[in-house]
């Protein structure tokens, strides 16, 4: 749901009733991850996607039903060998979908509205909804913030809300969306519960060092991939908004000085395009010791060998050097700035998702890798969820 927060936030502000269908769990070759959402308003307008097209029609109908009767529903969609043309995922996967009506006057409405407002404005927030459990607990939500405070609830034992809020905060700290299982005693409601926790966190950072023509192309593709992109270079004549209109931030400063003072985290990617030792060595010495997701440096193989020798002389260890992606990017035969940016972006995605970077043609590796740690599978959900095929 939070992946389409901006559009849904507008719907809330306009006073529209809508139902939102959210991927709860996946199995096999499912096209979308948990948290992917599709929403339908009372006029039949639809936004978002839960399957890339395979089951959108059936989910659309479920949303209409939920809007009419006000009841949330959990539905399973999968491919049927017996009925090849039945509603299902022809790619062979299985997805579980939670459909929640969000109408004016519904108990869930204020909590969903607050979660959407936070996500749309780039604030960190996590929203929890009951997937399976006692019927009286469904159709409600709980919003948790980074400081541990929370709003809303499930209308049950206060300890349940405190427990879910604490668990949701852990999901939020990790920037993770997934399901939480609570046993009968832990739920404090006399039955086990499955809870969907969706996290919305600020966009990850991409910092591009070196205001060159290749950087301009990389900024564009970084924005396309959802990064908050910063361009940093010590040369003011090159480091201008006019040259990098799509960058979120332009910084004129020595790269290592900027990296010393700025905030990075485990999702940050650092792309060093300066290929000049006076910039590269102090910058990479610092970068390779930071807990970031990716560090890549541009240059020829000769530049790479010379740079590694300088880094060793500067005290960088072999273990630290092993983190460096250099020469930066995958071997696509790239020549233009745009092709080079594509090769860099491809390496970043492969590194993030656990991909090999080889052609899928003739390969026997999975198309979708679970590289983000903990995508819930359909086997995680109770057996009471239904199969539609």
Q: What is the CATH number of the domain that holds 255?
A: 3.40.50.720
57 plus 111 within the same structural domain = yes
* Confidence (pTM): 0.67
Is residue 41 pLDDT above 70, yes or no? yes
Domain presence at residue 221: yes
CA angle at residue 335 from 334 to 340, to 5 degrees?
Answer: 55
Report the number of distinct structural domains present in the chain: 2
Write b or e for each residue in 337-375: b if 16 or more Cβ atoms lie within 10 A of its Cβ, otherwise e: bbebbbbbbbbbebbbeebeeeeeeeeeeeebeeeeeeb
Is 366 among the domain residues?
A: no
Query: Torsion angle, CA of 151/157/159/164, rounded to 10 degrees?
Result: -50
As a whole number, mean pLDDT of residues 45-67 equals 89
Instruction: Give me the percent of the chain exceeding a pLDDT of 90.
Output: 60
Contacts of 27 (CB under 8 A, 6+ apart): 78, 93, 94, 95, 377, 378, 379
Which of residues 28 and 242 earns the better pLDDT score?
242
Same domain, 176 and 218: no
Provide the 8-state DSSP code for 204.
Answer: P
Q: Final residue of a domain: which of 142, 173, 201?
A: 201
Q: Are residues 212 and 247 in the same domain?
A: yes
DSSP character for 344? H
Please tell me whether residue 164 adopts helix, strand or coil conformation: helix
Same domain, 190 and 169: yes
Tell which residue, 5, 28, 20, 14, has the closest CA to residue 375: 28
Q: Is the pLDDT of residue 320 over 60?
A: yes
- On the 0-12 / 13-18 / 19+ scale of CB atoms within 10 A, 42 is middle
Q: For residues 86 and 63, give the distance between their C-alpha atoms in angstroms, rounded to a whole number.
A: 19
Q: What's the average model confidence in pLDDT over 30-59?
A: 86
**Predicted local distance difference test score (pLDDT) of residue 365:** 67
d(CA 305, CA 283): 17
Question: Is residue 360 a part of any domain in this protein?
Answer: no
- Residue 374 maps to a domain: no
Residue pair 210/253 in contact by the 8 Å Cβ criterion: no
As a whole number of angstroms, the distance between CA 263 and CA 285 comes to 17
Instruction: Decide: helix, strand or coil at residue 100.
Output: strand
Each residue's pLDDT tens digit, 59-100: 999 999 999 999 999 998 875 544 434 455 555 578 899 999
pLDDT tens sequence across 214-232: 999 999 999 999 899 999 9
Residue 389 has pLDDT above 70, yes or no: no
Note whether 225 and 147 are same-domain residues. Answer: no
Whether residue 144 is found in the same domain as residue 32: yes
Mean of all residue pLDDT scores within the chain: 86
In a domain, 326, yes or no: yes
CA distances to 15, 48, 134 from 21, in Å:
19, 9, 20
Closest Cα to residue 74, out of 27, 122, 130?
130
Give the end-to-end CA distance of the chain in Å, rounded to a whole number: 24
Give yes or no: residues 123 and 166 share one domain.
yes
Has residue 364 been placed in a domain?
A: no
Residue 380 domain flag = no
Q: Are residue 86 and residue 125 in the same domain, yes or no?
A: yes
Model confidence pLDDT, tens digit, residues 331-356: 999 999 999 999 999 999 999 888 88
Question: According to the model, what pLDDT value does residue 360 have?
Answer: 80
Whether the per-residue pLDDT at 54 is higher than 90: the answer is no
pLDDT at 259 > cutoff 80: yes
Same domain, 217 and 180: no
pLDDT cut 70: percent of the chain above it = 86
383 pLDDT more than 60? no
Within 10 A of 332 (CB to CB), how many other CB atoms are there? 14
As a whole number of angstroms, the distance between CA 269 and CA 228 comes to 10
* Helix, strand, or coil (residue 208): strand
260 with 113, same domain: the answer is: no
Distance in angstroms (rounded) separating the CA atoms of residues 307 and 62: 58
The answer to the question of residue 96 being in a domain is: yes
Asked whether residue 259 falls in the same domain as residue 113, the answer is no
At which of 169, 201, 233 does a domain end?
201
Domain endpoint, select from 201, 220, 255: 201
Q: Which domain holds residue 142?
A: 2-201
Measured in whole angstroms, the distance separating CA 117 from the mean position of its chain's CA atoms is: 18
Q: How many helices (H) and strands (E) does the chain have?
A: 11, 17
* pLDDT at site 95: 86
pLDDT band at 148 (very low <50, low <70, confident <90, very high): confident
**One domain, residues 99 and 156:** yes
């Amino acid at each position: 749901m939070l992946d389409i927060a901006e559009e849904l936030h507008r719907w809330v502000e306009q006073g529209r009733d809508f139902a939102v269908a959210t991927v709860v769990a996946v199995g096999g070759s499912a096209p979308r991850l948990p948290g992917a959402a599709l929403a339908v308003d009372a006029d039949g307008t639809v936004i978002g996607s839960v399957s890339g097209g395979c089951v959108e029609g059936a989910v659309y109908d479920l949303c209409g039903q939920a809007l009419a009767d006000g009841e949330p529903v959990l539905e399973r969609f999968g491919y049927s060998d017996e009925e090849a043309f039945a509603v299902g995922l022809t790619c062979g996967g299985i997805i579980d979908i939670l459909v929640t009506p969000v109408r004016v006057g519904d108990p869930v409405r204020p909590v969903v509205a607050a979660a959407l407002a936070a996500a749309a404005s780039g604030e960190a927030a996590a929203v929890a909804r009951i997937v399976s459990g006692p019927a009286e607990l469904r159709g409600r939500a709980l919003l948790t913030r980074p400081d541990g405070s929370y709003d809303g609830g499930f209308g049950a034992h206060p300890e349940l809300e405190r427990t879910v809020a604490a668990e949701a905060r852990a999901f939020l700290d990790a920037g993770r969306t997934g399901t939480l299982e609570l046993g009968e005693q832990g739920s404090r409601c006399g039955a086990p519960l499955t809870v969907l926790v969706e996290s919305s966190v600020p966009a990850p950072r991409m910092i591009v060092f070196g205001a060159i023509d290749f950087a301009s192309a990389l900024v564009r593709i970084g924005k396309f991939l959802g990064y908050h992109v910063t361009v940093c270079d010590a040369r003011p004549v090159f480091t201008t908004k006019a040259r990098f209109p799509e960058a979120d931030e332009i910084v004129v400063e020595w790269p290592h000085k900027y990296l010393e003072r700025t905030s990075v985290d485990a999702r940050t990617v650092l792309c060093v395009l300066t290929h000049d030792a006076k910039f590269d060595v102090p910058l990479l010495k610092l970068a390779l010791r930071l807990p970031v997701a990716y560090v890549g440096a541009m240059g020829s193989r000769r530049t790479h060998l010379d740079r590694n020798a300088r880094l060793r002389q500067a005290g960088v260890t072999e273990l630290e050097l092993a983190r460096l992606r250099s020469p930066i990017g995958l071997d696509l035969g790239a020549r233009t700035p745009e092709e080079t940016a594509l090769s860099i972006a491809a390496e970043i995605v492969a590194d993030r998702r656990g991909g090999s970077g080889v052609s899928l043609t003739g390969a026997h590796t999975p198309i979708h890798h679970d590289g983000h740690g903990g995508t819930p599978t359909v086997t995680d959900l109770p057996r009471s969820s239904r199969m539609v095929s």
